């Protein structure tokens, strides 16, 4: 059974750096073609893709957030970490990690999400 | 950048009816790169359709996807109360880059 679980702080202050961890099981990020992505959703709003890391350590970022994001993986721990710098109240959202496999070439299994609020 | 526009914003139908949800792209999208997700309140999205028309694992055949180019449709036949949710289309572009539509809220009366 494939599962993903996000963890991180529920509250961060403006200008701080957010660090989120995605711990997964049921698949390996050393399998060719496998990827993990991060997606966020502000309250009542649509989904927004943030970043993706591939089995071969290739990394991709949303162009609008590229300068603030860093994604990395620890295959020995089955974890993917996302950091976002210079947090702002507009970054308040639920952050999801999800597996990307091909097929289907889409996010086929999602974590339950972690809510992050940005407030002083 | 490809923009996905979903319509209608809200759809209210009765059990047993058929729902047609539209997703229009601002430029042509490869059918291989178009997916649909269902999101119920308080839950994570769930993959329904990939490659524009292929059902994901465990998705009932009441859900079907179609379309090509800039126009894509998610059809849900024989609506059930548990189909109440927000539905998102998503495309995968070059770079790579993933774009989601703004969602269609489906209400089952």
Tens of pLDDT, residues A5-22 = 999 999 999 999 999 999
| Model pLDDT for residues B38-97, shown as the tens digit of each residue | 999 999 999 999 999 999 999 999 999 999 999 999 999 999 999 999 999 999 877 678
Which run of H or of E encompasses B93? strand B85-93
- Decide if B47 and A106 are in contact by the 8 Å CB cutoff: yes
> Closest by alpha carbon to B37, among B105, B80, B83, B90?
B90
Would you state the pLDDT for residue B92? 87
Would you state the pLDDT for residue A104? 80
pLDDT band, residue A102 (cuts 50/70/90): confident
For residue A107, which residues of chain B lie inside 8 Å, CB to CB? Answer: 35, 37, 45, 47, 90
* Widest distance between CA atoms in chain A: 43
Least CB-CB distance to B47: which of A37, A107, A112? Answer: A107
Grouping H, G, I as helix, E, B as strand and the rest as coil, residue B81 is: helix
State the Cα–Cα distance between residues A102 and B66, nearest whole angstrom.
20
Would you state the pLDDT for residue B99? 94
- Decide if A103 and B44 are in contact by the 8 Å CB cutoff: no
Contacts (Cβ under 8 Å, ≥6 apart) of B14: B79, B108, B109
Contacts (Cβ under 8 Å, ≥6 apart) of A58: none
Output the CA torsion sign for B67, B73, B78, B84: positive
| Model pLDDT for residues A36-68, shown as the tens digit of each residue | 999 999 999 999 999 999 999 999 999 999 999
Q: Other C-beta atoms within 10 Å of A79: how many? A: 17
Would you state the pLDDT for residue B11? 97
- Going from the C-alpha of A82 to that of each of A25, A59, A96, B71, the distances in angstroms are 18, 11, 11, 34
Average pLDDT over residues A59-80: 96
For residue A113, which residues of chain B lie inside 8 Å, CB to CB? Answer: 44
Grouping H, G, I as helix, E, B as strand and the rest as coil, residue A15 is: coil
Q: Other C-beta atoms within 10 Å of A72: how many? A: 13
Grouping H, G, I as helix, E, B as strand and the rest as coil, residue B102 is: coil
Q: Which residue of B has its CA nearest to A94?
A: B44
- Going from the C-alpha of B53 to that of each of B34, B49, B78, the distances in angstroms are 9, 6, 18
Q: Give the whole-number percent of chain A exceeding pLDDT 70.
A: 100
- Decide if A49 and B97 are in contact by the 8 Å CB cutoff: yes
pLDDT band, residue B32 (cuts 50/70/90): confident
State the Cα–Cα distance between residues B37 and A78, nearest whole angstrom.
25
Would you state the pLDDT for residue A9? 98
Would you state the pLDDT for residue A38? 98
Where is average pLDDT lowest: A14-28, A76-90, B90-104?
B90-104
The answer to whether residue B105 neighbours chain A at the CB level (below 8 Å) is: no
- Decide if A37 and B98 are in contact by the 8 Å CB cutoff: yes
């Amino acid at each position: 059974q494939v599962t993903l679980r996000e963890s991180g702080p529920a509250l961060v202050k403006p200008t701080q750096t957010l660090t989120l961890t995605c711990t997964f099981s049921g698949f390996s990020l050393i399998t060719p073609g496998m990827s993990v992505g991060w997606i966020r959703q502000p309250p009542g709003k649509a989904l927004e893709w943030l970043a993706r890391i591939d089995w071969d350590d290739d990394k991709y970022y949303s162009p609008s957030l590229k300068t603030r994001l860093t994604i990395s993986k620890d295959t020995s721990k089955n974890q993917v970490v996302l950091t976002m710098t210079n947090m702002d109240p507009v970054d308040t959202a639920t952050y999801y990690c999800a597996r990307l496999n091909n097929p289907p070439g889409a996010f086929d299994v999602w974590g339950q999400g972690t809510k992050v609020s940005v407030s002083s | 950048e490809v923009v996905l526009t979903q319509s209608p914003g809200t759809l209210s139908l009765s059990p047993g009816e058929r729902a047609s949800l539209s997703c229009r792209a601002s430029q042509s999208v490869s059918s291989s790169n178009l997916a649909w997700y269902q999101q119920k309140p308080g839950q994570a999205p769930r993959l329904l359709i990939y490659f524009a028309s292929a059902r994901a694992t465990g998705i009932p055949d009441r859900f079907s996807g179609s379309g090509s180019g800039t126009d894509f449709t998610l059809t849900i036949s024989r609506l059930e109360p548990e189909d109440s949710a927000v539905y998102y289309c998503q495309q995968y572009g070059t770079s790579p880059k993933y774009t989601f539509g703004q969602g269609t809220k489906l209400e089952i009366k």
